[in-house]
Every structure is written in C-alpha cells, then in structure tokens.
Structure 1
Amino acid sequence: MKEFAMFIDGKRVAGANGAFAVLNPATEEVVAQCPQASVAQLDEAVAAAQACYETWQYSSDADRKALLHKIADKIEENAAELAQIVVEEQGKPMFLAQMEVGGAIAWTRATAELELPVDVLEDSENKRVEVHRKPLGVVGSITPWNWPLMIAVWHIMPAIRSGNTVVSKPSGLTPLNTLRLVELINDVAPAGLVNSVTGESGIGSGITKHPGIRKIVFTGSTPTGQTIMRGAADNLKRLTLELGGNDAGIVLPDADPSAIAEGVFQTAFLNMGQTCAALKRLYVHDTIYEEMCEKLADVAAQQRVGNGLEEGVTFGPVQNKEQLELVSELVEDARANGARILCGGQPMEGNGYFYPPTIVADVTNGSRIVDEEQFGPVLPVIRYSDVEEALRLANASDVGLGGSVWSSDPAKAAQLAQRLECGTAWVNGHAELLPYAPFGGCKMSGFGVEFGQEGLLEYTSAQVININK
C-alpha cells in the first residue's frame, strides 16, 4: 500500500495525530492511510508559506509562468498514476478520471498564460496614475471530494501565478490525489510555496480562523461556506466561495428530445451527478414531456454501472455512504408522494455505494427531490405548460450557480437564458466550464469568480501608484 505524506516547507511530513483510512467507494476497502495533521502542523505550514511569500511576491511574471508550465509537465509525466488514484479514492470511471487529469494539465497551462495588467488611469504632462495588482499573502485552499485533482488545480494555480503562497487542505474522503499533486509541485517549486495539511480534527476551522492566512478559496456546501465566512471575519480574509447549486434546465416546446437527450443526460449525470454545476432539475414542456422522459430513461439504460477500474464501465458509485443515504432518502420521499420512477430508484446490492442512474417523473416544486440539491445520480423531470411559469419555477430557489435552456432556436433560448438567476447560463448545454470564462454563483451559491483574468484578480488587491512628475 502506497504511503502518502503531507508537504510542509518542501519536506515530507507524517501526521502528528497519526493516520486515518481512505476508502474505495466501489469496494469499501481501504485504499491507503492518510496523515492526520495537528493544529501545530497547520501553524508550521502557514509559517512556511509566509516565509516563502517574502520572496515569491517579488518573483517575475516570467518565473511564475515558467513554474506553472513545469508543474503541468510533472502532472503530465505522472498522469497514469494520478488517474488511478482518482478512481480508487473518488470512484469515477477511468475514462472520466483521465479527463480530470487532462483537464488539470490544460488548466495549469492556461493559467500560466494569464496576465496581470497595469491599468494607466492618467498619463499627462504633470501626473501619471497607475493601478497595479499585488498578491495578498498566504492563501488557504479547502477542496471537496467530487473532483479532487481538478479543483485543487483550480485553487492552487491562480494563487501562485499571482504571487501568493498556498496551504492546501483536501477533503478527508479524497485526500490522496491532492497530496500527490502537492508532492509533484514541490519537485519543481521553492520550499514553502505550496504546502498540504490533511485531517478533519480542527484543521478546516483552523484555516478559516488563522491570522496568517489572508484569503480562503473554498468549494463545497453552503452551510460550510457560511461557517467559513464567519470565521474569516476576524482578520477580514478575502473569500472566494463556490457553494451549492441546484441547477435548472428548461426544455422549450420546439426542442427535439431525440437530439438533446444524450446531452441532457450527460450534463445531469456528470460524475454520477456529483458536480456542483450539473443539471439537477429539468423543466419540460407538456407537448414533449413523455417523449423526453422516455429518451432519458433509454440513455440511462445504456450505462454500465460498476467499479471504475473495470473495462467498459461508464457509471461509478456514489462517493460516500452518507451521500448514498441522502440520494436514497430523496427518491423514497418522491416515490411515497406519487412520483413515477422511470429507471433505477434503489441502491444496488453488494459492496460499494452503487446507485443506478435514476429518472423521476411527475414531481413538482415543493417536492424534496426538486427543492434540495441531490448531488447524486438522480434527475427529477417537471412538467410545465407556459414558458413564463417554467422560468418562475427555475428561479424559485435560494441558490443560483448555473442554468440552461434547450431549444432548436438558440437566439430565442439565449434571450430566456439571460433571465435565469444564476452565474452561468448555457444554451443547448450545461456544466461546461472553460479556463478563460469566469465561473461563480449568485444568491446562496456564493460569491467571487474563478477562471480567466477575472478569476486571477480575485487573488490580488489593487494598489494605486500616483506619480507627480
């Protein structure tokens, strides 16, 4: 069994509080032991990051770009190992794990090429006024269990590209990939630039409240984001919070169910539905409702559910037992209240947290399965008769991460998409994230954006240089 270690100040470190087991969700067997950090080790990691920041903040653009490309090279050289770890600790099928690793490489290279501008506000005979973007200091990264490598890359790379240093804490359910990533970074980066700490005993709250951390970037649930926000108040930490979503899709009456069923299914069940920006509520017009339900059930029936390491598997397990129980509970609640379960609908027998792709028809807003984020392999399909009604129902949520409109008339769909209350609205697609396009939510889905130049600027503060000639 491979041994994993934390990295603090460029050195491999064991957990001062021992270790804890990481389970494979497909087998419920132990993948590896993960170090359990102490709060004192968190302090050491922050101190190492601060010491590195004293010089890294003055590093050149060229040096930062070059380092990110070196990191991308290291990820690429170890792509097969990283994909294997993703499957074993997270559960997604191998082809999807390979996509995650490939995405991490591409995102690192794209982030390397972003620029921090100097804006000139005035350049007259007597005065020049410039706006510079300066790094903040030590950044705390807290990542979830659904895309353990990709989201760590999303947090770490713009932080160091903009001149900050990092303390990274992955989820205790999927810590191994992040530990390996930070180890690879330390092969080519200055000591203390990126540090890792793991453990669930006070480490997350310690990062939230730590006076030496100047910014936190967090991806996860809304309640945890609220807790982080409260803890961050003491030293006014900057925050980027990408929180829960319950994304709605609206299928207009002119859409062709045969043409869009595959796209709707794949964006709803991406990573077994365990994706923040996955499509989680589908509103379909009366005239095509039954056909759309039938086509989605047909696509679901084509999936091969199993261990992601096995040949031909397209659909893996739910990542953990608690999430499996929530998914089961929501489906049973819908069933008890008269919903039609078109396929799936109950956990599979045997080892592993397997739940087949499930389409639930004849539900409405007010049902738990519609109002609550399932974050699993279930899609409720809601019937509507008036487009304005569908828009009202789609927006009747306290979260607003993403949304979509599906139609044979993209121009008409785009007009409706602009009225969705969400950070990103797609037309004839969903859940597509791009390294050059800012991504973030509104309402209770958080604030701040990631990706592109706007995402990079979130890791900086503005300094005005006012020069009297």
Structure 2
Amino acid sequence: MSDRILRNVIGGESVESATDTYLDLIDPATEEVYGRAPVSTAAEIDAAYAAASSAFRHWGRTTPAERQLALFRLADAMAERADEFADLESQDTGKPRATLVADEIDQSVDQLRFFAGAARDLNGRSAGEYLAGHTSYVRREPIGVIGQVTPWNYPLNMAVWKIAPAIAAGNTVVLKPSDTTPLATVRLAELAAEILPAGVLNVVMGDRTTGAALLQHPTPQMVAITGSVRAGMEVAKAASSDLKRVHLELGGKAPAIVFPDADPQTVAEGLVLAAYFNAGQDCTAATRVIVHESVHDEVVAALVARAATHAVTGGPREEGVFYGPLNNAAQLERVSGIVDRLPAHAEIVAGGARQGDRGYFFPATIVTGMRQEDEAVQEEIFGPVLTVQTFRTEEEALALANGVRYALASSVWTSDHGRAMRFSRDLDFGCVWINTHIPFVSDMPHGGFKHSGYGKDLSHYGFEDYTRLKHVMSYIG
C-alpha cells in the first residue's frame, strides 16, 4: 500500500485535510492501492468557497488580457509537464501510457489555449438608441463562484473543460474530481496556484456525499457536472431550490447508422475506434450499430475482424494495447451484468466476459440480434460493448436511432450527400458525425438534448455559458 496521501488545494495552498475518512486509490490494472484521498469535511468545503468568493472580488474585474495571459501560462506549464500529467493520468485510469500525451494531454493544452483566446472575444449587441433619447448597451459579465464536479473517464480533460471557460470569463471555481481519479486534477490545481491568484481555482476531494454538499452549498451561483443521468437529475433538483444556474453534461447512447453504400471496411475502422477507445467509457462512444439488413453480415464480419486485431486491451505499459481496464470494480460489475443479462435472441459474436482475474479488463464485445426494447440498447453501458440492429428503410433507421432517452452524439455512414444532410437534420442528437465518429475540436460545441443534459462544453458557446447578460440604459436627452 502506498503512503501517498493527497491534499486539497484551497486558497492557493496545498492543505492537509482534517477528515477522519480517506478513500483508497486503486490501480484499475492491478487492483493494488497506490494512495489515499481525503473525504473533505463540510468546513473544508466552506473554506474553499470562502476563498473563491474572496478571489472573485478581484478576478471578476481583471481585464480579458490578464485572464488570457494567465491561461496561456497555465497551458505552457502543462505542456512542459506533459509526461508528468500522462503518468498521473495513466496511474489513475490504467490507460495506455504510450499514447496519453497525444490523445489527451495535448488536447487539454489546446483547450486551455482556446479559452485563453476566447477571453478576449466576447460579443454582444452593439450600443444604440433603441428608445428615443436613450442609449442602451449590453454587458457580458462573469457569473461569480462556480461549483463543479468531474467524472473518472477523462479526469484531466474534463477538469480543463470545466475550469478553462469559467476562469476565462472571470469566474472563480471550487471543483471536486471523481473519488477514483483525483491525481492529475490536484496536480493541475497545484500548478495553477503558482500562476493564478489565490482562490481562483480550488480543488476539494471526496465521495458522492462530498459532491452533493459542494453542489448544494449556498455560495455558488452556478453548478456544473459531467456525470450520470441520475446525478444530473439530483443536481438539477437541488439547484432549483436555490435558483442556481445548472450546466449538465450527462450520458449518451450514440447510434451509428450504416447504409449499403458505405464501405464496410471503412465503417469497421471508424467504429472500432469510436466504440472501444478508452474502453468505451465515453459518452459519445459508438454503442449502437444500426445497419441496413442487406449488408448486416458483411459489416458485422468486418467489425469482428477489426476488433480482434486493433481493439486489444491490456495494462498501461504493455505494447500493442489500444485500451486499458474499466475504471473501477463497480463499473466492471455493471458492464458484466448487462452482458450477462442479454436476452436469448441476442448473440455474442466477440468478447462477452471479463478478461483475466486481475484488473478490471473487459474485451471488445459485439452483440447481434438486438431489439429496440433490450436493456443493452436502451441503457448506457459505458464499456467496450457494441450492439447491432438492422433496418429496412430510412424511416425505420431514424426511429431506432432516436428511440432512446439519450441525445448526445450520433453518426451516419453513407456516400449519398442528400441522405447525410437529411439525417443531420432529423437525428435528435447534439452532434451528428458523417462518415466518421468521435473526433473533437476545441472550436466546436459539445453537449446534448433530452436526458443527455443541457449546456455546452468547448467552443465559444461553452464560454458564453459561464457569463451573464446585463442591459445598461442611459438617458441622453
């Protein structure tokens, strides 16, 4: 057992917790304990919010140029320590270490730089005389103190998605990382403490109860979470009693609709990447292949072959590994349970059971013969499991794709431009990819509809979510 004990970052200082309760940090690849994180006390949450409130009085009035420079410096500091952050992220998650810098650390740096630029590009209606004798203009202002909670699937990326737009807009933050993956987020806060004024970014650790206390605290004017639908509903309900603004990025159940004019090998290459990257622990992962019945067998054969050669799971330092273990024992139990409960009409054509007896590894799994009402079709699995359904007509394909409660991401695979445009209009998802699935850029919004939540991450739209509008009118005679 490691003697590494993590500390909260409050008011620009690394602070040892006064708690009696610590959580073991468990390596998902070995199931060994490598450290402990505190379950922060109510007093520590109070202290973090007090620090954020005090910092906001100054930070909220800094110029966009000052905020931009600070975020650029933070991005540069992260880039200089890319290997350190990759080591921390790999330890927490079990992700393949060889590709982490390119896959995730570089993206976090880019996202910090994007929002640094956005800080100096706030837009609004131009000043003018909309009422005779009066001049009106619009101020776009920071909201205040923001409470945030991030998940375990992309710990560092999700922390950056949350803090970068909030801080760029002039807000201050109290953030709780997932209880199983706090390392990189705490290190980011320690680094930020050397660059940002004390209290602009505060990180407190803990469990689900800690997160609820942080989000229900009376101080924040806005709360933001990336997490499950259940968690999002609880946050929205609690926030309503205090009329807090709410930003929710929740689950997904992304369909990939495959038409006969799509090349099966190209489809398999794209969907194996999109289904199994990060062990399928991605809200936008391709999870439901909806394929025209005339090419079902050919597409499934291509998927199975591609998964066998490219979707290899193993430890973070093993060669030739595409994805690592599931994050924790509870997630392994969830994925295994859904697969074990598959109905009799379903057929597992690849994978299907835990790999090995040490670590939370689950192989690339493909299940055919699925029906719309099946649990594995309707519920987010959040693991390396791909289900396959068939359709005959465009109308049926669209009904199957939209026939779930989630609405985050989707894709359509076809060489027919008109069909692609129709589906981009009619698919009820926050993102529609055409002949690809899962790429992200900092410049474009990420967020869904229905039970996938509301509000946008990334892009200028995500930046604007962390601002408020004020109308100023002056009598000019």
TM-score range, shorter chain: over 0.9
Aligned with 2:156: secondary structure?
helix
2:122 is matched with which residue?
116
Distance 1:406 1:201, change over 3 A: closer
Distance in 1, matches of 2:27 and 2:99, equals: 16
- The CA deviation at 1:92 is 1.6
Q: Distance in 2 between matches of 1:291 and 1:55?
A: 62
Deviation at 1:119, TM superposition (A): 2.3
User: Is 2:329 the partner of 1:321?
Assistant: yes
* Residue deviations 1:143-162 (CA, integer Å, cap 9, x gap): 00000000000000000100
Could you give the per-residue CA deviations for residues 74-125 of structure 1, whole angstroms, max 9, x where no partner exists? 1111110111111111122124422211110000001111122242152488
Q: Distance in 2 between matches of 1:340 and 1:193?
A: 52
The letter for the 2-side match of 1:240 is: H
Distance 1:163 1:255 in 2: 47
Q: Is contact 1:405-1:414 (8 Å) kept?
A: no
Further displaced range: 371-380 or 198-207: 198-207
> Cα distance 1:221–1:96, how it changes in 2: closer, same or farther (>3 A)?
farther
SS across alignment from 2:279: coil
**Residue number among 2, 20, 23 corresponding to 2:23 in the alignment:** 20
Supply the AA of the counterpart residue of 1:277.
Answer: T
- Which deviates further from its counterpart, 16-25 or 370-379? 16-25
1:103 counterpart residue number = 107
1:41 aligned to which of 44, 48, 51: 44
| Counterpart AA for 1:217 | A
Range with bigger deviation, 191-200 or 251-260: 251-260
Partner of 1:304: 312
Q: How does 1:4-83 map to 2 (within 5 A)?
A: 4-18=6-20, 19-83=22-86
Distance 1:120 1:69 in 2: 29
Structure 2 residue identity aligned to 1:306: G
Match of 1:230 in 2: 237
CA offsets per residue over residues 244-270 of structure 1, 9 Å max, x none? 111111101211101221101111112
- Aligned twin of 1:264: 271
For residue 255 of structure 2, the aligned residue among 248, 252, 276 is 248
Map Cα deviations across residues 428-469 of structure 1 (whole Å, 9 max, x no partner).
Answer: 112222211122111111111122221111111100111222
Point out where structure 1 has 5 or more consecutive residues left out of the alignment: none
Q: Distance in 2 between matches of 1:157 and 1:255?
A: 39
Tell me the TM-score normalised to structure 2 length.
0.95
Partner AA of 2:43 in structure 1:
A
CA contact (8 A) 1:246 1:279 kept: yes
Give a deviation string over 1:207-262, Cα, whole Å, max 9, x none: 22111111111101011101011111232111110111111111012111012211
Residue identity matched to 1:100:
E
C-alpha deviation, 1:3, in angstroms: 4.3
After superposition, residues 183-222 of structure 1 pair within 5 angstroms as: 183-200=190-207, 202-222=209-229
Q: 2-side partners of 1:333 and 1:203: how far apart? A: 33
Query: Matched residues in 2 for 1:434 and 1:105: separation?
Result: 12
Match of residue 385 from structure 1: 392
Verify the 8 A CA contact 2:405 2:451 in the aligned structure 1.
yes
SS at 1:311 equivalent: coil
2:436 matched residue in structure 1: 429
What is the distance in 1 between the residues matched to 2:41 and 2:265? Answer: 54
User: What SS class does the counterpart of residue 418 from structure 1 fall into?
Assistant: helix
CA contact (8 A) 1:143 1:170 kept: yes
Q: State the shift of 1:369 in Å.
A: 1.0
**Once superposed, which parts of structure 1, at least 4 consecutive aligned residues long, lie more than 3 Å away?**
123-127
Letter in 2 for 1:207: L
State the 1:201 CA deviation.
6.0
Tell me, what secondary structure is at the counterpart of 2:471? Answer: strand
Q: Residue 261 of structure 2: SS of its match in structure 1?
A: coil
152, 157, 163: which one pairs with 1:156? 163
1:349-428 correspondence runs (5 A) = 349-428=356-435
Instruction: Check conservation: 1:87, 1:309, Cα contact below 8 A.
Output: no
> Identity of paired residues, percent?
38
Aligned-pair distance for 1:312? 2.5
What is the RMSD of the two structures over their aligned residues, measured on CA atoms? 1.4
User: Is the Cα–Cα contact under 8 Å of residues 308 and 314 in structure 1 kept in the other structure?
Assistant: no
Q: Deviations over 1:322-362 (max 9, x none)?
A: 1111111221222x413221111110122100110011111
Q: Which residue of 2 aligns with 1:282?
A: 289
Partner amino acid, structure 1, of 2:142:
P
Deviation at 1:4, TM superposition (A): 2.6
Give the alignment of 1:116-195 within 5 angstroms: 116-123=122-129, 126-195=133-202
Letter of the 1:117 counterpart: N
Q: Which amino acid aligns with 2:125?
A: D
CA contact (8 A) 2:277 2:322 kept: no
Contact 1:249 1:282 in 2 (8 A): yes
Pairwise CA distance, 1:31: 2.2
Query: For 1:165-205, what per-residue CA distance to the aligned partner results, in whole angstroms no more than 9, with x for missing partners?
Result: 00010010111111111111111110000000001163111
Q: Aligned AA for 2:329?
A: K
The DSSP-based 3-state class of the residue aligned with 2:305 is helix
> Is the 8 Å Cα contact of residues 91 and 316 (structure 1) preserved in structure 2?
yes
**Compared CA separation, residues 388 and 201, structure 1 to 2 (3 A):** closer
Instruction: Report the 3-state secondary structure (helix = DSSP H, G, I; strand = E; otherwise coil) of the residue aligned with 2:341.
Output: helix
